[in-house]
Structure 1
Amino acid sequence: MKKWGVIAGLVTALSFTFNPVIADDRVDHFKGLQAQNLSEAFAHITDYNQQLQELLNTDLTPEAILQVHELTYTLENALERLETELEAWAEQLEELHLASEKFDAEAVKTEGDAYLSLSEQWQRWGNTE
């Protein structure tokens, strides 16, 4: 009986030790670089993917894994920026679509130009290879 009491005590103590990680499911201790626009997002993705590839080509020591962990924050921020920009692009297309449904020539021209402007940005970054 005494053995079970010791085990229960250890389990309880360990659950308090690991509780912050379990409760949040993540440990956020790096901020990562923020991407202020589409250009910065693609630049961060390019740079940090290269760094990730270099790390993956080495022995994955604890230090290398920590570097991978740290650079994923910048990559996550870049992908969030892309998501935000992609949503804006889709919203602009919807505005063009709605203007065309109304046969509003002036709005079609305005919304179409705005949509194509956003499209140019995406196409430019998609053709960087």
Structure 2
Amino acid sequence: MKKLPVLALIAACAVWTPAAQADDAAAAPRVDHYQARQADDIEQTIANLREANQQLEAILAGEVGEYDMHDVHSLSYTIEDSLARLSEHLLEMKDIAGDMHFASEGLKRDDVIEHGKAYLSGVRKIID
């Protein structure tokens, strides 16, 4: 009779394993271990991204050992944050370009000039 509870406990442990819980772990919130490099504006964001990319490229050009994995992990925070901020900036530029487009269809000269200048100012921060 005592074997039944022990067998049930063993069966429960066999079902509840780290591999069985992998789906739950994937859904868990991400833990931040490192602070991404901060930027005050989009130009600094791009500078941070360029620097992180250069560091990543140098790491990947070598053997990529254990310490390199640590460095890649810490660089990832800056890379991801910079790309997110750049993406937001591009979406803003897309909206401004759309406003310029519709203003041009309506022959709204002042609006075209305003939106055109805002677009050029914003886009030059990332491609000039």
TM bin, normalised by shorter chain, reads 0.7 to 0.9
Q: Residues 48 and 113 (structure 1 numbering): CA distance in 2 closer, same or farther, change over 3 Å?
A: same
Q: Which AA in structure 2 matches 1:61?
A: G
Asked if 1:41 corresponds to 2:57, the answer is no
1:35: Cα distance to partner? Answer: 3.0
The structural deviation recorded for 1:26 is 4.3
Query: What's the Cα RMSD here?
Result: 2.9
- The answer as to whether partners of 1:21 and 1:27 remain within 8 angstroms in 2 is no
Q: Could you tell me the TM-score, scaled by structure 2's length?
A: 0.77
The yes-or-no answer on 1:110 pairing with 2:109 is: no
Say whether the 8 Å CA contact 2:45–2:85 is kept in structure 1.
Answer: yes
1:1-129 superposed matches below 5 A: 5-6=9-10, 8-9=12-13, 11-12=15-16, 14=18, 21-24=25-28, 26-124=30-128
Q: Is the 8 A contact 2:45 2:86 kept in 1?
A: yes
Check conservation: 1:35, 1:81, Cα contact below 8 A: no
Give the Cα separation in 2 of the matches to 1:33 and 1:68: 14
2:64 aligns to what SS in structure 1?
Answer: coil
The unaligned stretches of length 5 or more in structure 2 are none
- Which 4+ stretches in 1 moved above 6 angstroms? 1-4, 15-20
Greater Rg by CA: 2
- Once structures 1 and 2 are overlaid, which stretch shifts more, 6-15 or 40-49? 6-15
Among the aligned pairs, what percent are the same residue? 28
- Contiguous gaps of at least 5 residues in structure 1: 125-129
Instruction: Describe the shift of the 1:7–1:121 C-alpha distance in structure 2 as closer, same or farther (beyond 3 A).
Output: same
Output the TM-score relative to the length of structure 1. Answer: 0.76
Question: Contact (CA 8 Å) 1:35, 1:77: kept in 2 or not?
Answer: no
More helix by share: 1
